[in-house]
């Protein structure tokens, strides 16, 4: 095949694919343009997850009539004047790729007005080609409207998920920038519903209040400059106390010189700061602003500017870790926490602590423990003689070939999961609450609760909308307490990535987990025997619904070796 130049339209669509992955990518690029333009208010409107319609409007500086067309040429930018500027980027955008990339994959309308001109400019583009360019009245600022996103690149359209999922991704972007720029008023409307309305008063805690609710905002801890001092790095923001956590990392936001970034290293730094304070599998909430000289960070390593490269990553890691740890150690409600008491978990030695004890690193005896793996075909456990309970967590039993140690929570979780999964919707009894409880949700969590409503109703939950992003829980499944139900729902909405087909199974796992006996709960002999008998009857007694072993065994032969009897 002969070598030839690609046509302009193909080049534009290929380039757009590097920058515009989904509707949230469009919103991110337009938000960054608005913020770079000095906007004090940004309004975002989407329909059908942004696939059908996107509108971003601001009150920024606008674009003069003579430069509007130039703004849609590739690599045209107002944010760089020379090559050397790349080494000290202070703006969010700088490559001049956002607008031409967006115009290449959608029909676009722009209405903009510069403060220096008496009238504004209207521009209409279809597939990157100009349809109309004329004068039109508008107050200073810019409005961009998009329709038929990805209609000319059906391959990209095919890989998008449901409108609800895409809407949740847009919500994540908008609320992240609302936290980075608390002095800017952000609004977000999804399919006609106003889901976000920040005050824009410059107070980060008030932005957190709008997004996460009063229960979270009132307890967040300030990362003051005094928490960690460095000649080159400053840390500020808010982090949650140990009693407030989530089941995923989605509520941990990092900003480098106000740029939203993704960084596994910084996530690890923040999580290590909570070491010894949070259970395994639980993650903090936080808005962590990292300030450093622009020459010490390279923001030009990723097409969508989602990642950055630090000249000294270990120094930034240490700064974040020490700043967060400092405010946790000095938190007044928990004065007994000492820095030296922190036990940093290693990936290879993760284990749940015995109730009331400090987590200990894995000892040499750990190598003798082997999970009892059962399949549905070989589900019957050997005949076990109950010995007792230790640590308020483990049951001990003697089997024909060794000592069996049963995790009471994991075992009961397996039992409850199979009981719940075997019930039909008509068997799921519900109980009305005399004192219904309230859920305050952020836009992402609200999208998740709406996606789960039908399954929640089948399981026995009655949930009604009680205001903007506020829901009242009227009824819960029989056998649940209100605190158990609230904890379950809070954990459920913290994972918006679940596909509709996975929601039912995850809900069943959560119901099993939150109604199982807890660590530290002392059982009498009859309760222990009943738990073992029920576990024996399950299809997969060797593992809980999350895949964790319910039983480990120490062989008699291994005990004989340890006691030098052989």
The model's pLDDT over 206-237, given as tens digits with 9 standing for 90+, comes to 999 999 999 899 999 999 755 455 568 899 99
439: tokens are: 């859920």
Per-residue confidence (pLDDT) for residue 375, from 0 to 100: 39
Q: Are residues 170 and 49 in contact, defined by beta-carbon separation less than 8 angstroms?
A: yes
Residue in 60, 56, 57, 55 with CA at minimum distance from that of residue 39: 60
Per-residue confidence (pLDDT) for residue 7, from 0 to 100: 66
Task: Choose the most confident range, by mean pLDDT, from 187-191, 439-443, 552-556.
Answer: 187-191
| Residue that has been written with the tokens 């809900």 in this structure | 507
- Give this prediction's pTM: 0.68
Per-residue confidence (pLDDT) for residue 479, from 0 to 100: 84
Number of neighbours of residue 478 by Cβ within 10 angstroms? 10
Residue in 144, 143, 136, 141 with CA at minimum distance from that of residue 119: 136
For residue 287, list its beta bridge partners.
238, 253
99: tokens are: 């607008």
Per-residue confidence (pLDDT) for residue 306, from 0 to 100: 63
At residue 290, the 3 state secondary structure works out as strand
pLDDT tens by residue, 339-382:
332 322 333 333 333 333 333 333 333 333 444 444 333 445 78
Chain centroid, CA 400 distance in Å:
47
Residue in 23, 327, 36 with CA at minimum distance from that of residue 177: 36
Phi/psi for 484 (5° steps) reads: -65, -45
At residue 109, the 3 state secondary structure works out as strand
Question: What distance in Å separates the CA atoms of residue 409 and residue 512, rounded to the nearest whole number?
Answer: 10
CA trace torsion 350, 355, 360, 363 (10° rounding) = -80
Q: What is the mean pLDDT of the chain?
A: 81
Q: Which residue has the higher pLDDT, 531 or 75?
A: 531
Task: Compute the average pLDDT of residues 406-433.
Answer: 87
For residue 42, list its beta bridge partners.
58, 186
Task: Compute the average pLDDT of residues 278-292.
Answer: 87
Name the CA radius of gyration of the chain, rounded.
28
Give the chain's domains with CATH numbers. 8-192 (3.30.565.10), 219-347 (3.30.230.10), 366-419+519-562 (3.30.1540.20), 425-515 (3.30.1370.100)
Task: Compute the average pLDDT of residues 501-528.
Answer: 87
Question: What distance in Å separates the CA atoms of residue 202 and residue 75, rounded to the nearest whole number?
Answer: 33
Sheet holding 129-136, edge to edge: 129-136, 120-126, 107-113, 141-147, 53-58, 41-47, 185-190, 193-197
Per-residue confidence (pLDDT) for residue 138, from 0 to 100: 94
Name the pairing type of β-strands 252-256 and 286-292: parallel
Residue 561: in which H helix or E strand, if any?
helix 556-562
Q: Are residues 26 and 90 in contact, defined by beta-carbon separation less than 8 angstroms?
A: no
Name the pairing type of β-strands 394-399 and 430-440: unpaired
Residue in 476, 547, 464, 473 with CA at minimum distance from that of residue 505: 547
Question: What distance in Å separates the CA atoms of residue 110 and residue 95, rounded to the nearest whole number?
Answer: 20
Q: Tell me, what DSSP letter sits at residue 509?
A: H
411: pLDDT strictly greater than 70: yes
Residue count of the chain: 566
Range scoring the smallest mean pLDDT among 80-84, 236-240, 281-285, 392-396: 80-84
CA 550, 414, 502, 173 torsion: positive or negative? negative
Residue 499 backbone class (left: φ over 0; alpha: ψ -120 to 50; beta: rest): beta
266: pLDDT strictly greater than 70: yes
**Alpha helices in 330-481, H assignment, sequence order:** 408-422, 443-459
pLDDT tens by residue, 533-562:
999 888 888 888 877 889 998 998 888 888
Task: Compute the average pLDDT of residues 421-430.
Answer: 79
């Amino acid at each position: 095949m002969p070598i030839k130049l690609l046509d302009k339209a193909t080049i534009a669509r290929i380039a757009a694919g590097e920058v515009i992955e989904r509707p949230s990518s469009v919103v991110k690029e337009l938000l960054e343009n608005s913020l770079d333009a000095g906007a004090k208010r940004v309004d975002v409107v989407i329909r059908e997850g942004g696939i059908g319609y996107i509108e971003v409007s601001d009150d920024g500086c606008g674009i003069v009539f003579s430069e509007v067309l130039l703004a849609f040429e590739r690599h045209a930018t107002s944010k760089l004047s020379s090559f050397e500027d790349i080494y000290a980027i202070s703006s969010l955008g700088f490559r001049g790729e956002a607008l031409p990339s967006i115009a290449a994959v959608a029909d676009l309308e722009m209405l903009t007005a510069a403060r220096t001109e008496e009238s504004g400019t209207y521009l209409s583009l279809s597939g990157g080609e100009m349809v109309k360019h004329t004068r039109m009245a508008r107050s200073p600022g810019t409005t961009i409207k998009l329709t038929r996103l990805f209609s000319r690149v059906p391959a990209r359209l095919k890989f998008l998920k449901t409108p609800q999922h895409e809407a949740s991704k847009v919500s994540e972007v908008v609320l992240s920038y609302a936290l980075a720029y608390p002095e800017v008023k952000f609004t977000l409307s999804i399919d006609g519903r106003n889901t976000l309305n920040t005050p824009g008063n410059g107070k980060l805690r008030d932005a957190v209040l709008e997004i996460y609710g009063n229960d979270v905002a009132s307890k967040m801890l300030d990362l003051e400059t005094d928490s960690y001092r460095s000649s080159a790095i400053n840390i500020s923001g808010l982090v949650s106390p140990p009693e407030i956590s989530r089941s995923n990392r989605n509520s941990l936001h990092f900003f480098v010189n106000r740029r939203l970034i993704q960084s596994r290293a910084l996530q690890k730094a923040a999580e290590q700061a909570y070491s010894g304070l949070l259970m395994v599998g639980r993650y903090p909430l936080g808005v962590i602003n990292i300030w450093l000289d622009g020459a010490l960070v390279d923001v030009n390593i990723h097409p969508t500017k989602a990642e950055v490269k630090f000249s000294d990553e270990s120094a930034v890691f240490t700064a974040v870790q020490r700043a967060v740890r400092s405010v946790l150690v000095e938190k007044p409600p928990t004065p007994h926490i000492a820095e030296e008491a922190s036990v940093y978990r290693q990936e290879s030695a993760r284990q749940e602590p015995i109730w009331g004890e400090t987590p200990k690193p894995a000892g040499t005896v750990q190598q003798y423990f082997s999970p009892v793996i059962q399949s549905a075909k070989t589900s019957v456990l050997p005949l076990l003689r109950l010995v007792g309970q230790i640590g308020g967590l483990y049951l001990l039993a003697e089997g024909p070939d060794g000592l069996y140690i049963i995790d009471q929570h994991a075992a009961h979780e397996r039992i409850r999961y199979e009981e719940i999964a075997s019930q039909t919707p008509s068997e799921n009894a519900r109980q009305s609450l005399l004192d219904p409880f309230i859920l305050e949700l952020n836009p992402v969590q609200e999208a998740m609760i709406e996606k789960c409503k039908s399954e929640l109703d089948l399981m026995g939950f009655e949930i009604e909308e009680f205001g903007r992003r506020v829901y009242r829980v009227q009824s819960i499944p029989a056998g649940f307490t209100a605190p158990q139900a609230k904890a379950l729902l809070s954990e459920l909405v913290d994972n918006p990535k679940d596909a509709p087909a996975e929601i039912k199974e995850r809900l069943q796992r959560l119901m099993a987990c939150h109604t199982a006996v807890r660590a530290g709960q002392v059982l009498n002999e009859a309760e222990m025997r009943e738990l073992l008998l029920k576990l024996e009857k399950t299809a997969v007694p060797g593992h809980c619904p999350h895949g964790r072993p319910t039983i480990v065994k120490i062989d008699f032969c291994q005990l004989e070796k340890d006691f030098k009897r052989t």
